[in-house]
Amino acid sequence: MTFRIHLASQSPRRRQLLDQIGVRHELLLPGDDEDAEALEAVLAGEAALDYVQRVTLAKLEAARLRLARRGLPPLPILCADTTVALDGRILGKPADAAEACEMLTALSGREHQVLTAVALAWPLPDTRAPLLRLSRSTVRFAPIGPERIAAYVASGEPMGKAGAYAIQSGAAAWIEHIAGSYSGIMGLPLFETAGLLREAGATV
């Protein structure tokens, strides 16, 4: 039987990355009755490493409950979350253009960390613990002038992106150096994801 999973993510990049390694998947997205954004709220004093793992597991549990409610095929569920950290500060998705400009200005000429957690769980009532992996990468931006930041923000690309940028967008022209996982910075580290899927019985 072909191994298939549910992907609990609205990110088209994660779908593309799963396609890249030949993983068949069905989307398992939140309904109108769910407040998905509330799961991403940062707790007071929370470190970025703790945050990204906690949020990923919270999204995964919400997806397990969603699957049970909808009565969909009982396939394993994959979930991921990405955050950007600068000097210990968590840079999530910007609320508006002004915040996006502020984030990119802070990243200009600096190194920052990109953390992506990916987790897989089995449908309820299975009691096996979720499988979790973490990808850590370092990205260094060249200095970016305010005009270039303003133009990028005006394009709308920063919205919905942790740290207000996407590595596969025009922001790639600002990146001097990467240490880590390119796919992890995109939002789904393929090495770690493939390991999870093999552990669950897939051929990747």
State the catalytic residues. 81
CA angle 189, 64, 32 (to 5 degrees): 95
Distance of CA 66 to the CA centre of its chain: 19
Rounded to whole angstroms, the Cα distance separating 170 from 40 reads 26
Cis peptide before 76 (omega within 30 of 0): no
Which two tokens mark 66? 């969603």
Strand 131-141 and strand 89-91: the pairing is unpaired
Rounded to whole angstroms, the Cα distance separating 157 from 166 reads 7
